[in-house]
Amino acid sequence: MKKLSLLFCMLLTCTILRAQLRLPAFISSGMVLQQQDSVRLWGWASPGQDVSVTTGWDGQIVRTKTSSFAFWEVKVKTPAAGGPYDIQITTHETLKLSDVMIGEVWLCSGQSNMEWSFNHGEKDIAAELSLPANGNIRFFHVPKTGSAHLQDDVKGQWTIAGPETLKSFSAVAYFFGKRLQKQLNVPIGLVNASWGGTPAEAWTPAALVNEDPELRAAAAALEANPGWPTVPGAAYNAMIAPLTKANIAGVIWYQGESNVKTYGSYEKLFTSMIDAWRKAWTKPFPFYYVQIAPHTYENKFQGALLQEAQTRSMAHARTGMVVTTDLIDSAANIHPSHKKPVGERLAAWALGDHYNVPGITYRNPQVTNVQVLKSKIRISVGNAGSGLRASGRDAAGFMLGDETGNWFPAVARVSKNSIEVTSAQLSQPKYVRYGFSNTRPGNIQTKEGLPLIPFRSDTQVIVEEKEQ
């Protein structure tokens, strides 16, 4: 009987040991790893166990031991893009990962306009559903989860881009990845961690918000909502922090609509969030984002002021902004229906700025100088491409202001890289605004089709008025 009991205990111990080897959801068959870099593989097993990892692309074996917390981690060198490969992880048992691709991995985050998919009514995906599955584009969708504390894992699984998986995946992220894959001819991994309605505070480590008086006051002004977290750090803790061990090429971001009421602190909040993410990854990766589209907000200039904060944020290192003023069907719809050009413009930023692909036009035209000339104002524009033009019959979106803060409709004459603005109602203008409105965007763009970034030359304190 004693021998049977001892044998039972030994078998039970072996079963427990074997059951201890566990991997995070991100590290699995079908995943994409960042090419030509040092990437982490990690997991959990019984404390003190020997762990060996064998990579199929070079046959190298990397060994380590689990910590007293039952955690293990190794770094492996990845080759140039390719695959599929196998990875073998061995303790008292062996796990074999298959169909592993090496390529470019991008994190795609934000609120509903990043989340928006075919299942939400996004139109541009419909034409993609008849295409065959593309094994060189892989999705990892992080479920919506909030937490008051840092988490070490997420749910989710890697899938191949195809007619069924496309229906529920971010349209912006997909079109971004599709253009990258076509241009670079490498596997692309897209990690979608987005949640409609969430303010940027939820995606920022709580300490950064709570320990800064200005950011803390802005966070306190946010309205709680049962559909999403507004608490600082809630989405970061559960949906971003668990991914920070995974090497990524960069981030694309579409968010801001839920911060229009706290536009005054958004630039500080947003750039602090970017820095925090880069610190967590220990990598100064590129961060490309979408300026919010025109929309009818509660107060007349809230959206314009948030757009202005996003424009100022471009001064932050290794960032780039996509403008969408030309892509709206109706200012009443906070979710512009066409996401394909948004994703492709983000991809153009990545291709031109990060991957240094020649011949890519990606920077929006932007005002560089404003000169007051008695009865008119001359605007100089940088990044004008092969020249500026009005997309309609006449230039639209301009206003001229006087010293006392009165504003009048204006007309504009557009040349290659400058614009002259006049108003029949104002003989001596002092200031100019373009597209500085929640709902009335301008129509100036380059001949390549990139719209002029909204701007104003005045620094007038805006008195909030209800939208008419």
CA distances to 191, 194, 203, 307, 404 from 108, rounded to whole Å, are 6, 7, 12, 20, 44
Phi (first) and psi of residue 177, to 5 degrees: -65, -35
CATH 2.60.40.10 placement within the chain: 20-102
pLDDT at 12: 41
Q: Which burial class, exposed, middle or buried, applies to 64 when counting CB atoms under 10 A from its CB (0-12, 13-18, 19+)?
A: middle
Decide: pTM greater than 0.85: yes
Four-way CATH pick for 366-456: 1.10.260, 2.60.40, 2.20.130, 1.20.1410: 2.60.40
With contact defined as beta carbons under 8 Å apart, do 145 and 156 qualify? Answer: no
Residue type, 447: K
Residues 95 and 53: their CA atoms lie apart, in Å, by 10
Residues 173 and 128: their CA atoms lie apart, in Å, by 14
Give the Cα-Cα-Cα angle 321, 367, 447 (nearest 5 degrees). 75
With respect to CATH, is domain 103-354 assigned 3.40.50.1110?
A: yes
Helix (H, G, I), strand (E, B) or coil at 350: helix
pLDDT at 4: 44
pLDDT at 198: 98
pLDDT at 462: 85
Buried b (16+ CB within 10 A) or exposed e, 35-44: bebebebbbb
Helix (H, G, I), strand (E, B) or coil at 182: helix
Buried b (16+ CB within 10 A) or exposed e, 117-150: bbebebebbeebeeeeebebbbbbbbebbbbeeb
Q: What letter would DSSP give residue 107?
A: E
pLDDT at 6: 46
**146, 304, 108, 156: which is closest to 225 by C-alpha?**
146
Give the Cα-Cα-Cα angle 386, 389, 457 (nearest 5 degrees). 100
Backbone region of residue 383 per phi and psi (left: phi > 0; alpha: psi in -120 to 50; beta: other values)? left
Those residues of the chain that have pLDDT short of 70 are: 1-19, 464-468
Residue type, 87: I
* Chain mean position to CA 259: 16
With respect to CATH, is domain 20-102 assigned 2.60.40.10?
A: yes
Token output for 371: 């000169």
Digit-coded pLDDT (tens) for 287-335: 999 999 999 998 889 999 999 999 999 999 999 999 999 999 899 999 9
CA distances to 270, 330, 380 from 395, rounded to whole Å, are 32, 19, 15
CATH 3.40.50.1110 placement within the chain: 103-354
With contact defined as beta carbons under 8 Å apart, do 365 and 382 qualify? Answer: yes
